[in-house]
Amino acid sequence: MEAAQQNLIVHCSGAGRENAARGAQQLLAQGVRCLIICGFGGGLAEEVVPGTLLLANQVLDGGAAAPQVYRPHADVFRQAQQVVPPSVRLHIGPLATGDRVLLNATEKSAFLQKLSAIYPEKPLGIDMESFGAAQIASIHNCPWIVVRAITDGYQNRMPFDFNVLTDTQGRIRPFPFLLAILKQPHNLPELYLLGKRAAIAAKRLALYLQNLIAALQEPRP
């Protein structure tokens, strides 16, 4: 999906770092001069709870055997810290990009333990896309920023294994999803709560992005 308004292009890349990298390439080919990488993410620290936002001061490759880190453009990052609406709580810290949805606290703990041997600073959150887009933007010297709306905290669990229920774009596959519901109907209340958390997170992300985009579009003196 793409839309243009006031020199703004919106592109939905789909799930995964490869899709995000391709999306970034497409946007850069269209002449985009600043990339806002945004969407949902999970919390890896107790204080990063659902409904809060995470502004990444660095993006880590959570699947690498050696450190791979990208940092946002300093001026854009400074502006991004100054436009937080009163109703939005913003965390600032590292974000790790993984290759799968982490389903519960046990998986998140194992992921953090693996990363602790590679990176000196603990990531506050995880997603599956940001590293791919940030890497492309950095290679092409395009300023970028990453902000993620948190839908599941460290202690939250996923009601179903979305790693096997979604396609390569992150879309739910109807038949496997229906089969999972029939096998585990007791997980439906948790699915409802995830939906509610996602709706709140999306609303707060939209409020924040409205301010950020307006600030970035202001003419420089």
Q: Rounded to the nearest 5°, which phi and psi values hold at 37?
A: -95, 115
- pTM score of the predicted model: 0.87
Supply the pLDDT for residue 218: 72
In CATH terms, the fold of domain 2-217 is: Rossmann fold (3.40.50)
Show the tokens assigned to 92. Answer: 């600032």
pLDDT exceeds cutoff 70 at 1: no
Q: How confident is the model at residue 151 (pLDDT cuts 50, 70, 90)?
A: very high
Supply the pLDDT for residue 160: 86
pLDDT (average), residues 91-113? 94
CA separation for the pair 159, 132 (Å, rounded): 27
- Average of per-residue pLDDT values in the chain: 90
pLDDT (average), residues 29-57? 94
Percent of residues, the chain, with pLDDT higher than 70: 96
Return the closest-CA partner of residue 103 out of 13, 37, 187, 218. Answer: 187
Q: How confident is the model at residue 20 (pLDDT cuts 50, 70, 90)?
A: very high
Q: How confident is the model at residue 2 (pLDDT cuts 50, 70, 90)?
A: very low
Supply the pLDDT for residue 14: 82
Residue boundaries of the structural domains of the chain: 2-217
Percent of residues, the chain, with pLDDT higher than 90: 70
**Higher-confidence position of 216 and 170:** 216
Q: Rounded to the nearest 5°, which phi and psi values hold at 193?
A: -65, -35
| 176-211 confidence digits (pLDDT tens) | 889 989 999 998 999 999 999 999 999 999 999 999
Q: How confident is the model at residue 63 (pLDDT cuts 50, 70, 90)?
A: confident
pLDDT exceeds cutoff 70 at 3: no
pLDDT (average), residues 129-135? 95
